[in-house]
């Protein structure tokens, strides 16, 4: 199993590096040759930068560390940066990026690096917050295992989640169509709706899609997918690196950190790709990145809980593993439900079916709950880290003062 994981890391990382660079360059060339300008060009080149950054920044190091492992070379111990320093760098990247995007010349050239840096730093804050506290308890972590877990969440987790969600949504759609076929006039309504959907400019006409948003069935279906189906799938796959490296028999502290790293990798891909949508409105880009940072906290906590869940399953404590999975899905589902509520309120405001005062009060309430949820989840991450750090590394070998990697892993 060890060799299999090392080969997968080398091949998967190299493939991600090559495909990321090719996709980024093709995206950049197509954007440059197109007629888009302004925010459209910035958005396209930021997306191009995302592909290249993921390929070279994560895929290439993952391939290198896989080759190093196959060659039997040891990995260096990781020294965690101060979370406060990363917070400061994140704020600076956010401010400078917003200024470049809104006021600087040639934003399409200078903005993408700040965009990528802001998302990476927001994830790094959460990861270092957990890692530093576990390191205080004596848990020694190498660069190799961290890169393996980040890569697993970023590449394996996202691909598995996308595939499974697509299959699940297809099955759900087929089920809805089957139900409509059993209802008198259901298929005729569906054909009329699809014909209207294909009509040019129909999607931007509120009188067409607003009735759907007011339907309890549609709202229920959206919440089912966003708050039930998606969390159940994503939480099951974002920390797959933990069972893949289960041959190392990780203790609870290490498994928790591995899960957090898997959630961080998942957040990097999701946050970098979805964050480009906010570039359509230059004024709200900074707010969107802050919101994505909150989503990253939720993903990292869910990944950490799943790390504990996988460790419990590997230790033949199935009920504890299922409990961790259920808690991760519940927290993720609550976050998605609140986020979906804000989106639905915004769409109703655009269609004129709710007044601005109602929208403002409703949005403020939801954002307040989301903010409270982020603070709670950060508190849970710190609390679990401290509890596990107090176990001296979770029942594993820990690094003694002045001890290096070779001494640690060759200690009698």
For 211-246, give the DSSP string. HHHT-HHHHHHHHHIIIIIHHHHHHHHTTTHHHHTG
By residue count, the chain amounts to: 412
CA distances from 96 to 106, 114, 225, 284 (A): 14, 7, 37, 14
Tens digit of each residue's pLDDT (9 = 90 or more) over 374-392: 899 999 999 999 999 876 4
Is it the case that residue 398 has pLDDT exceeding 70? no
Tens digit of each residue's pLDDT (9 = 90 or more) over 313-359: 988 888 899 999 999 999 999 988 888 877 776 666 655 555 556 55
State mean pLDDT over 200-208. 56
- Helices 158-182 and 230-237 cross at an angle (nearest 10°) of 150
State mean pLDDT over 191-211. 62
State mean pLDDT over 32-39. 59
State mean pLDDT over 90-108. 83
Report the pLDDT value the prediction gives residue 407, as an integer from 0 to 100: 44
Report the pLDDT value the prediction gives residue 293, as an integer from 0 to 100: 87
State mean pLDDT over 52-75. 89
127 in Cβ contact with 268 (< 8 Å) = no
Q: How far apart are CA 37 and CA 108, in angstroms?
A: 9
Strand partners, 77: 142
Lowest mean pLDDT among 64-78, 196-210, 300-314: 196-210
Q: How far apart are CA 278 and CA 387, in angstroms?
A: 38
Q: How many CB atoms lie within 10 A of CB 177?
A: 12
CA distances from 123 to 75, 225, 276, 376 (A): 23, 25, 16, 17
Tens digit of each residue's pLDDT (9 = 90 or more) over 128-161: 999 999 998 889 999 999 999 999 999 999 999 9
State mean pLDDT over 228-241. 93
State mean pLDDT over 385-408. 57
Is it the case that residue 164 has pLDDT exceeding 80? yes
Is it the case that residue 204 has pLDDT exceeding 70? no
The structure tokens listed for 221 are: 């279906």
Report the pLDDT value the prediction gives residue 111, as an integer from 0 to 100: 82
Q: Which helix (H) or strand (E) holds 38?
A: none
Is it the case that residue 170 has pLDDT exceeding 70? yes
Tens digit of each residue's pLDDT (9 = 90 or more) over 250-292: 999 999 999 999 999 999 998 888 777 666 665 667 778 888 8
Tell me which residue has tokens 């903005």.
111
Among candidate residues 43, 136, 119, the one with its CA nearest the CA of residue 82:
136
State mean pLDDT over 230-237. 93
Is it the case that residue 102 has pLDDT exceeding 90? no
Is it the case that residue 306 has pLDDT exceeding 90? yes
Tell me which residue has tokens 């709950």.
369
Q: What percent of the chain has pLDDT over 90?
A: 37
The sign of the torsion formed by the CA atoms of 191, 195, 196, 197 equals: positive
Strand partners, 303: none
312 in Cβ contact with 320 (< 8 Å) = yes
Average pLDDT score over the chain? 82
Report the pLDDT value the prediction gives residue 72, as an integer from 0 to 100: 87
The model's confidence at residue 367, banded by pLDDT at 50, 70 and 90, is confident
């Amino acid at each position: 199993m060890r060799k299999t994981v090392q080969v997968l890391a080398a091949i998967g990382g190299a493939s991600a590096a090559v495909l990321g660079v090719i996709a980024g360059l093709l995206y950049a060339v197509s954007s440059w040759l197109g007629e888009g300008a302004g925010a459209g060009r910035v958005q396209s080149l930021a997306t191009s930068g995302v592909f290249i950054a993921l390929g070279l920044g994560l895929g290439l190091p993952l391939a290198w560390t896989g080759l190093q492992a196959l060659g039997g070379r040891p990995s260096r111990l990781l020294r965690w940066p101060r979370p406060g320093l990363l917070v400061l760098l994140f704020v600076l990247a956010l401010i400078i990026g917003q200024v470049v995007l809104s006021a600087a010349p040639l934003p399409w050239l200078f903005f993408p690096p700040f965009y990528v840096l802001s998302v990476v730093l927001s994830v790094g804050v959460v990861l270092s917050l957990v890692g530093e506290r576990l390191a205080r308890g004596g848990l020694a972590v190498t660069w190799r295992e961290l890169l393996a877990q980040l890569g697993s969440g970023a590449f394996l987790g996202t691909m598995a989640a996308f595939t499974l969600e697509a299959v699940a949504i297809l099955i759900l759609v087929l089920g809805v169509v089957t139900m409509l076929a059993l209802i008198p006039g259901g298929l005729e309504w569906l054909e009329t709706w699809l014909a209207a959907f294909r009509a040019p400019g129909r999607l931007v006409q509120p009188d067409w899609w607003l009735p759907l948003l007011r339907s309890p069935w549609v709202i229920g279906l959206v919440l089912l997918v966003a708050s039930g189906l998606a969390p159940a799938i994503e939480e099951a796959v974002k920390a797959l690196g933990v069972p893949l490296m289960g041959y190392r028999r990780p203790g609870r502290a290490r498994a928790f950190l591995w899960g957090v790293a898997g959630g961080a990798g998942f957040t990097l891909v999701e946050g970098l790709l979805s964050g480009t949508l906010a570039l359509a409105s230059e004024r709200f880009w900074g707010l969107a990145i802050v919101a994505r940072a909150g989503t990253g906290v939720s993903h990292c906590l869910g990944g950490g809980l799943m790390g504990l869940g996988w460790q419990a399953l590997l230790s033949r404590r199935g009920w504890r593993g299922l409990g961790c999975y259920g808690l991760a899905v519940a927290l993720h589902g609550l976050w998605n439900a609140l986020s979906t509520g804000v989106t639905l309120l915004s769409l109703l405001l655009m269609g004129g079916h709710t007044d601005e005062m109602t929208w403002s009060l409703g949005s403020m309430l939801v954002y307040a709950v989301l903010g409270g949820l982020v603070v709670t989840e950060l508190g849970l991450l710190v609390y679990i880290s401290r509890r596990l750090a107090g176990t001296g590394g979770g029942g594993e070998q820990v690094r003694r003062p002045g001890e290096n990697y070779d001494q640690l892993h060759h200690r009698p």
